[in-house]
Chains A and B, each alone.
Chain A
């Protein structure tokens, strides 16, 4: 089992460009999550999907959109990247008691 996989691992964008971060899990989790991690701020929830077909905003959703493509896949899209979105992005899958399993992360730099 690969667990939670994320692509790409690294990305550099120019301000205004768009991109989609991909996430897939093979752990049969109903819930999936996107976080961003910035120094000294822990992990902040961007969006989550409690089950296939549903998505909800987290703490910092502005500038992002998500798609729960099926039970396995949950993508995060930046429509018009800004330097403030420079961060490390983590995807996670979760159990019914909220134990979450994290991917290796995507390091994004917006110039």
Chain B
């Protein structure tokens, strides 16, 4: 089975500052990796995904993530955040031969002016 640990439950950050959200996963097989964002009172929206190939993945809204197989990590970064990036962010992992996603507990990002 796969599992995900998001290392920070809350991340406060000032507008235009960079942010990094940390995600570690556990799996004995090859995986797909995802980051989702959830704005207040909404469903989850895909930010980016790693399926194969380049380990640096670019997503929507200026976010990017790097897959590190040796450290089993998939950290999310944005070089300059906006107020509108205030949301909850979820890392998720799936085995390549499975139908199920395993989610981390989430990281709440609060951007302040």
Interface residues of A (CB under 8 A from B): 4, 31, 33, 40-45, 48, 50, 58, 90, 92, 94, 97-105
Contact = CB atoms under 8 A, between A and B. Distances in A.
A42 B99 contact: no
B20 to A, nearest CB: 19
Contacts of A33: 100-101
Given A42-B105, A48-B100, A98-B101, A90 B44 contact: yes
Chain A residues touching B, majority SS = strand
Given A42-B90, A105-B42, 15 more contacts: A4-B43, A40-B9, A40-B105, A40-B106, A42-B104, A43-B90, A97-B96, A98-B99, A99-B34, A100-B34, A100-B101, A101-B46, A102-B36, A102-B43, A103-B43
Nearest to A9: B41
Contact of B100 (A4, A40, A58): A58
Interface residues of B, number: 22
B32 A98 contact: yes
Interface of B: 9, 32, 34, 36, 42-46, 49, 51, 90, 94, 96, 98-101, 103-106
A60 to B, nearest CB: 13
18 contacts: A40-B106, A41-B105, A42-B90, A42-B105, A42-B106, A44-B103, A45-B100, A45-B101, A48-B100, A58-B100, A98-B34, A98-B100, A99-B32, A99-B34, A100-B46, A102-B43, A102-B44, A102-B45
Contacts of B49: 97, 99
A90 B104 CA distance: 16
Contacts of A100: 34, 44, 46, 101
Contact of A99 (B43, B46, B106): B46
A98 B43 contact: no
Nearest to A6: B43
Nearest to B44: A102
B98 A98 contact: yes
